[in-house]
Structure 1
Amino acid sequence: MSKQDYYETLGVDRSADAAGLKSAYRKLAMKYHPDRNPGDAEAEAKFKEVSEAYDILKDDQKRSAYDQYGHAAFENGGMGGGGGGFHGFEASGFSDIFEDLFGMGGGRRRDPNASRRGSDLRYNLTITLEDAFTGKSEKIKIPTSVACDTCDGSGAEDGTKPSACTTCNGIGKVRSQQGFFMVERTCPSCQGQGMTIENPCGDCSGTGKKNKNKTLDVKIPAGVEEGTRIRLSGEGKAGTRGGPSGDLYIFIDIEYHPIFQRDGSTVFCEIPIPMTTAALGGEIEVPTIGGDKTTVKISKGTQTGKRYKISGKGMPVLNRGTYGDMFIETNVETPVNLSKKQKELLRAFAEECGDDVSPEASGFINKAKELWEDLTD
């Protein structure tokens, strides 16, 4: 029985590129893999066919020979009549294909004395809105690790060095065959480090590091916002075997403010104003986030919710040297705890008032009356 064309086996055109071949093989390999089809001899045979086809076509030299001579290129140990061809397709070939397809291989030996960078650290720092306005210096204490000064971070006793792990030969991973799959896992002997220390340093127990509380002076620039990240290079955990330390990332959190709300460089503030000021107009003093006061002119007939803009009294723009604006929103306050005379004056005022004094209220009542009349008709 003649073999099926390799391109037809994978279901691709003869012009398919490497990515197309790999994609087609991946789908078919997953479909027919014996682990997914236990006891199915037909699926196992199909799996071998597609794997053989992919092994030939993924190699440029083999593919060229196949395109010229077909299956004859690989019969009797030849490749188109010449020597040095493909000598059959054995089970060991599956691991090579899967390493190429899924990136599972390799095994590059690690230098047991190579240095490694330390881990980064994160610190959450809470500040007030006033601190964000002015900027400040803050001292923080962080638990971290530093290189052991006894062994200079090598983890080995003075006069000795780490050696390559004999279990994984310095790779840090071990592989085992499971069916047609090559499974790779972290070496249990060296925990993936690729090296072992026969004579560990007595001061750091072979880790190359010591725990330490470090005090740092952090400069917080004016204008920082919620979530701003400040990076302190080299202030993270110590590296191993002389490697550089990681970095420290400080994330800024800003406390809730009872008066001011912030949106970027813009500040908002709700200001209660007396009913008389809202009606007659006048001036009010308004606090700012910078700690000073500013005067705002209130126009006649101001209603609750009206906004007034105060230029340049917002938050500083980070690293710009400019300031945003401040908006105050009026909240007209109804008088309380009135004296007898004050009540009489208000009643007299109410009797004198017409529709022109409260146009919105009068308009609302008229609309409501029209609605009631429509409902009763």
Structure 2
Amino acid sequence: MSAPTDWATKDFYKVLGVKKDASADEIKKAYRKLARDNHPDSNPGNAQAEERFKAISEAYGVIGNAEKRKQYDEQRSLFGQFKGGFPPGGAGGPGGATYGGGVDFDLSDLLGGIFGGGGGTRGGGGRRRQAQPRRGDDLETEATISFRQAVEGATVPLRLTSDEPCTICHGTGAKPGTVPKVCSNCQGSGMQTSASGGVFAMTEPCSVCRGRGLIVEHPCDLCGGSGRAPSSRTINVKIPAGVKDGQRIKIRGKGAKGDAGAPAGDLYLIVHVEGDERFGRKGDDLTVTVPLPFDDAVLGGEVSAPTIDGPTVTLKVPAGTPNGRTFRARGKGGTRRDGSRGDLLVTVEVQVPSKPSDEMRAAVEAYRTARTGATS
């Protein structure tokens, strides 16, 4: 006799040659005829007849029984809603199947919950689901770096404090010399099942052990039975070039350690960037303002501007340059994430002498005379 988990892949009505709404008498009559025709005693040495006889007996054992027929019909109705029906024998291993949308699940687990068969998290004789290792928590911290570190990138030390597997009980939560016991409510699965009013059963973390599957009778003095305790450590984190003030960086695997070999969580670092007296930022470019003598603005000349990495850059200024004009020094800005360099945007600020000398005053008065004479 097949288990309930095999029923979804077999059409017992077709095996007996009857309709799905056939009466109990019609099913019985069809079975007797087929069984007589295919009985091994009537077909000695006929392996095909023997296999047909087994299939006929299996089909009648299910739909010939009122209670089993009801379960079978419910199961066929439930799974018949999945796109593509039922591939013979399932997929993905014994009892497994893949249905519409490419969703894989364990058929025996689902049907065990419905019919009390071999799957499920609770119940007599069923296999017990093992409690899954718990991934470490994600952590968040902050770091303040200089303007230059933000532009060029930097490696900074971070002090982290988090709850991690207890160093005394090694994550069991039990006092040394004792061991936790299996939770009697969930049988160690960490999950409990509640009926939803239909053929489906809802699973949720066990309310007694809170999903751990274990009960600690003698708690560890350090962690109080939780299996986790505060721990501090220092790590070095590489901050990429071009990071912005307030930017949140994800660093995989640097969060709290996981339980029972599970992976660590992630670390989220919020970066604060200090200001700089000389430089500013505009996208991937740096900005700087430099003084431009009045005569150079009128007659043309050169201006020197500092760069973030030290050496100055010299730019030519054409005659008649107005105050506030910006010049671009390509490749003299900060480092981008891809390793290339941004530009340095140099804005000139025309300088007017506050206390001109006699010679300077005379030169300006001559300029005024020439200007007014030219316009009169």
Q: 2:303 aligns with which of 284, 287, 304?
A: 284
Deviation by residue 1:223-277 (Cα, 9 ceiling, x = unmatched): 24223736364x4223234545434343434344454333564323344534432
How much does 1:281 deviate? Answer: 0.9
**Structure 2 portions without partners, runs of 5+:** 1-6, 32-58, 83-99, 114-119, 122-127
Residue 71 (1) aligns with residue 20 (2): yes
* Separation in structure 1 between the aligned mates of residue 237 and residue 162 of structure 2, nearest angstrom: 16
Partner of 2:10: 61
**Structure 1 portions without partners, runs of 5+:** 1-57, 356-377
* Separation in structure 2 between the aligned mates of residue 94 and residue 159 of structure 1, nearest angstrom: 52
How much does 1:330 deviate? Answer: 3.6
State the one-letter code of the partner of 1:61: K
Alpha-carbon RMSD: 4.5
Residue 329 (1) aligns with residue 347 (2): yes
Residue 158 (1) aligns with residue 179 (2): no
* Separation in structure 1 between the aligned mates of residue 370 and residue 13 of structure 2, nearest angstrom: 103
SS in 2 for 1:262: strand
How much does 1:61 deviate? Answer: 3.2
Correspondence list, 1:244-263, <5 A: 244-257=263-276, 259-263=278-282
How much does 1:143 deviate? Answer: 1.4
Partner of 2:86: none
* Separation in structure 2 between the aligned mates of residue 184 and residue 93 of structure 1, nearest angstrom: 19
Correspondence list, 1:87-98, <5 A: 87-88=69-70
**Percent pairwise identity:** 29
261 and 95 in structure 1: CA distance in 2 versus 1, 3 angstrom threshold:
farther
SS in 1 for 2:20: helix
* Separation in structure 2 between the aligned mates of residue 170 and residue 96 of structure 1, nearest angstrom: 29
* Separation in structure 2 between the aligned mates of residue 95 and residue 272 of structure 1, nearest angstrom: 84
Residues 208 and 241, structure 1, Cα contact 8 Å, conserved in 2 = no
Residues 242 and 284, structure 2, Cα contact 8 Å, conserved in 1 = no
State the one-letter code of the partner of 2:190: G
SS in 2 for 1:88: helix
Residues 8 and 76, structure 2, Cα contact 8 Å, conserved in 1 = no
Partner of 1:51: none
Residues 298 and 320, structure 2, Cα contact 8 Å, conserved in 1 = yes
Residues 154 and 242, structure 1, Cα contact 8 Å, conserved in 2 = no
State the one-letter code of the partner of 2:189: I
Q: 1:229 aligns with which of 225, 232, 249?
A: 249
Partner of 1:111: 130
How much does 1:65 deviate? Answer: 4.1
Aligned residues: 293
Residues 111 and 164, structure 1, Cα contact 8 Å, conserved in 2 = no
* Separation in structure 1 between the aligned mates of residue 218 and residue 160 of structure 2, nearest angstrom: 31
Q: TM-score w.r.t. structure 1 length?
A: 0.61
State the one-letter code of the partner of 1:163: K
Residues 148 and 210, structure 1, Cα contact 8 Å, conserved in 2 = yes
197 and 93 in structure 1: CA distance in 2 versus 1, 3 angstrom threshold:
farther
347 and 175 in structure 1: CA distance in 2 versus 1, 3 angstrom threshold:
same
State the one-letter code of the partner of 2:137: S
How much does 1:63 deviate? Answer: 9.8
Residues 326 and 347, structure 2, Cα contact 8 Å, conserved in 1 = yes
Residues 152 and 242, structure 2, Cα contact 8 Å, conserved in 1 = no
* Separation in structure 1 between the aligned mates of residue 250 and residue 325 of structure 2, nearest angstrom: 38
Q: 1:301 aligns with which of 288, 297, 320?
A: 320
* Separation in structure 2 between the aligned mates of residue 170 and residue 77 of structure 1, nearest angstrom: 47
Residues 284 and 296, structure 1, Cα contact 8 Å, conserved in 2 = yes
* Separation in structure 2 between the aligned mates of residue 308 and residue 173 of structure 1, nearest angstrom: 67
Deviation by residue 1:161-203 (Cα, 9 ceiling, x = unmatched): 3333211222323232353374444321111222222222222
Residues 133 and 290, structure 1, Cα contact 8 Å, conserved in 2 = no
Q: 2:369 aligns with which of 323, 348, 353?
A: 348
Q: TM-score w.r.t. structure 2 length?
A: 0.61
More displaced stretch, 236-245 vs 295-304: 236-245
How much does 1:160 deviate? Answer: 3.1
SS in 1 for 2:136: coil
How much does 1:209 deviate? Answer: 2.1
Residues 280 and 287, structure 2, Cα contact 8 Å, conserved in 1 = yes
